[in-house]
């Protein structure tokens, strides 16, 4: 087994953080303890920022081997931002399931991203 380079270790830790963030979102959605204003301007700003960040990741040219990593990162950010925009517009009863969906998406990104970072090169 080869040792991880600092770059790959940083990407691995980053993917683990997304996995934990997804678990937190799913837990908040499942518990029903939603104590934030989903109609506020900061919520919309963060939603749009996630979408733009994801589009930037998708459009960023990269090495052939990193293509799937970039696609996974970009698509997950765009979809999470879209779910956050939807959360601002749906009835309150749908907020919990949408938070669970966003959390599940980030958990899936963390697992898939970890697998892509750790694959043999």
Question: What is the reported pLDDT for 101?
Answer: 96
Q: What gap in Å lies between CA 19 and CA 23, rounded to an integer?
A: 6
| Nearest to 84, CA basis, from 32, 27, 35, 25 | 25
Question: What is the reported pLDDT for 65?
Answer: 64
Our CA angle for 5, 109, 92, nearest 5°, is: 145
- Spans of the chain below 50 pLDDT: none
Asked if residue 29 is part of any domain, the answer here is: no
Question: What is the reported pLDDT for 121?
Answer: 58
The whole-model pTM stands at 0.88
Asked if residue 27 is part of any domain, the answer here is: no
Asked if residue 6 is part of any domain, the answer here is: no
Number of domains composing the chain: 1
Question: What is the reported pLDDT for 10?
Answer: 92
Residues 6-34 as b or e (16 or more Cβ within 10 Å = b):
eeeeebeeebeebbebbeebbebbeeeee
Asked if residue 28 is part of any domain, the answer here is: no
Question: What is the reported pLDDT for 120?
Answer: 62
Asked if residue 25 is part of any domain, the answer here is: no
Residue 40 DSSP symbol:
S
Asked if residue 4 is part of any domain, the answer here is: no
Asked if residue 26 is part of any domain, the answer here is: no
pLDDT in tens, 70-98: 899 899 999 999 999 999 999 999 999 99
Question: What is the reported pLDDT for 63?
Answer: 67
Q: What gap in Å lies between CA 44 and CA 88, rounded to an integer?
A: 8
Boundaries of domain holding 67 = 11-20+38-118
């Amino acid at each position: 087994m080869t040792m991880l380079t600092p770059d790959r270790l940083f990407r691995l830790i980053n993917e683990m953080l997304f996995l934990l963030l997804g678990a937190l979102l799913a837990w908040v959605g499942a518990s029903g303890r939603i104590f934030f204003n989903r109609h506020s301007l900061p919520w919309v700003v963060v939603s749009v920022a996630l979408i733009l960040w994801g589009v930037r990741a998708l459009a960023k040219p990269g090495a052939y081997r990193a293509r799937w990593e970039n696609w996974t990162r970009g698509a997950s950010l765009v979809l999470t931002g879209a779910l956050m925009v939807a959360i601002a517009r749906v009835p309150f009863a749908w907020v919990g399931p949408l938070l669970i969906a966003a959390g599940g998406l980030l958990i899936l990104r963390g697992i898939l991203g970890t697998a892509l970072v750790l694959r043999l090169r």
